[in-house]
Chain A
Amino acid sequence: DIQMTQSPSSLSASVGDRVTITCRASQSINNYLNWYQQKPGKAPKLLIYAASSLQSGVPSRFSGSGSGTDFTLTINSLQSEDFATYHCQQSYSTPWTFGQGTKVDIK
């Protein structure tokens, strides 16, 4: 199985901050990396697919980059509605696997 490791596990930030979350794969996954946002009691929501493509309807302050084993999710100018948990997921090979999640909360 491909292991996905996110860092940090949690972070505190303020509205307007720029936030960066990283995800590392245990082997190269090309650009087969997705990012999801999850709020308490809700299903995950797709933000970024294929490492850097913005899902329809997702604000442009969200962006993704990386290839191979190292990937980054960036949130420019954090908004109040962005406080949530973020998950990365590889779609290179089955079993599809997720990172452990990064919780972004209010400083």
Chain B
Amino acid sequence: QVQLQQWGAGLLKPSETLSLTCAVYGGSFSGYYWSWIRQPPGKGLEWIGEVNHGESTNYNPSLKSRVTISVATSKNQISLKLTSVTAADTAVYYCARFRWANNGYSFDYWGQGALVTVSS
């Protein structure tokens, strides 16, 4: 059974850097893209970006200038860094596995989520 476990700082001040890590347990790590997705309180889901085991990345253009997603294949972990945070970055952040099946990609496994609050 695949499990994604996330951790990282939950309270930041404006202009600081958000840093989260997601560890994958069970199943294969290679052969998938691993994404970060966020959800501001009471709002919808926003895809931040993705990485695969070969360190190939794709980012949402709306956040690209501030985001770095990296992978530590030996540890089956991915990480998210978001620089210069503001209150607008307050959200629950999820990691998720992006898999191919039946001619379509979907997020089939998700981490438990981590609330990050930006406040002075």
Query: Which A positions have Cβ atoms within 8 angstroms of B?
Result: 1, 31-34, 36, 42-46, 49-51, 53, 55, 87, 89, 91, 94-101
Contacts and interface: CB of A to CB of B under 8 A. Distances in A.
Q: How large is the interface on B (under 10, 10 to 19, 20 to 34, 35 or more residues)?
A: 20 to 34
Interface of B: 35, 43-47, 58-62, 94, 96, 98, 101-108, 110-113
B94 A89 contact: no
Contacts of B35: 96
B45 A87 contact: yes
Contact of B44 (A1, A34, A99): A99
Contacts of B108: 46, 49, 55
A31 B103 CA distance: 9
Would you list the 8 A-B pairs with minimal beta carbon distance, nearest first? A50-B104, A43-B110, A49-B106, A91-B105, A98-B45, A95-B60, A34-B106, A96-B47
B104 A49 contact: yes
A43 B113 contact: yes
